[in-house]
Amino acid sequence: DAKTTQPPSMDCAEGRAANLPCNHSTISGNEYVYWYRQIHSQGPQYIIHGLKNNETNEMASLIITEDRKSSTLILPHATLRDTAVYYCIVRVGSGGYQKVTFGTGTKLQVIP
Amino acid sequence: DTAVSQTPKYLVTQMGNDKSIKCEQNLGHDTMYWYKQDSKKFLKIMFSYNNKELIINETVPNRFSPKSPDKAHLNLHINSLELGDSAVYFCASSSNRGIYNEQFFGPGTRLTVL
């Protein structure tokens, strides 16, 4: 799986959009971009994934650049409960078992 | 209606002891995992089982022995516990169907070895 690079920490004002970047310059054509988050002391939680098109769900939006070398997770209206470590992961989208490698992630602090 | 559950939530024990952590998922998934998150918060995969068969073993010491009695359960037994085993252990599961196989994580078991 390709490696990812994320800033170690970010702050965001409550109610504003949080934009979390991720670089994955060695991503290959069949690798998907996944985002998980880990709220303090809890298990990681899946947020969203995409291959090359932008994606949106009830939690967030994922913007993937045309060359697929980077992406941005957008939380449109950050709340205090969004304070967490956010992990960007790339892996082959194959069925069955997957070895998911978590990096160090971005610690997002939402400020009142 | 918890999807992935683990017991116990906290485990404090002495060096040299043997302990087990249990994991159960009620999602009907075929694949289950164990991860270790150390004090630096780095989350590393340890094992993966697919339909009760071991498929990923990430060079974990053989003091760690996973057991999968059925598809819904994956337990982790640790022999001769060491100080370095202190960490939070997360169980997870995912489906084999399709290619969008998000993993669902349990709440974690915080193991402290004294």
DSSP line for B21-65: EEEEE-S--SEEEEEEE-TT--EEEEEEEETTEEEEE-S--TTEE
> Of the candidates B41, B109, B92, which has an alpha carbon nearest to the alpha carbon of residue A84?
B41
Residue A99 has pLDDT above 90, yes or no: no
Of B4, B41, B45, the CB nearest to A100: B45
Strands B64-70 and B87-94, how do they pair?
Answer: unpaired
Nearest-angstrom CA–CA distance, B27 and B95: 8
The secondary structure of residue A44, as a DSSP letter, is P
Determine how many CB atoms are found less than 10 A away from the CB of residue A67. Answer: 9
Query: How distant is the Cα of A54 from the closest Cα of chain B, in angstroms?
Result: 16
Q: Which residues of B touch A (CB under 8 A)?
A: 4, 30-31, 41-45, 48, 50, 55-56, 58, 88, 90, 92, 94, 96-108
Q: Which residues of B touch A49 (CB under 8 A)?
A: 100, 102
Q: Across residues A10-33, what is the average pLDDT?
A: 93
Q: Tell me which of A74 and B50 has the higher pLDDT.
A: A74
Query: What radius of gyration, in Å, describes the C-alpha atoms of chain A?
Result: 13
Q: Quote the pLDDT of residue B100.
A: 62
Q: Across residues A46-58, what is the average pLDDT?
A: 92
Nearest-angstrom CA–CA distance, A50 and A63: 9
How does pLDDT run across A71-92, given as a tens digit for each residue?
999 999 999 999 999 999 987 6
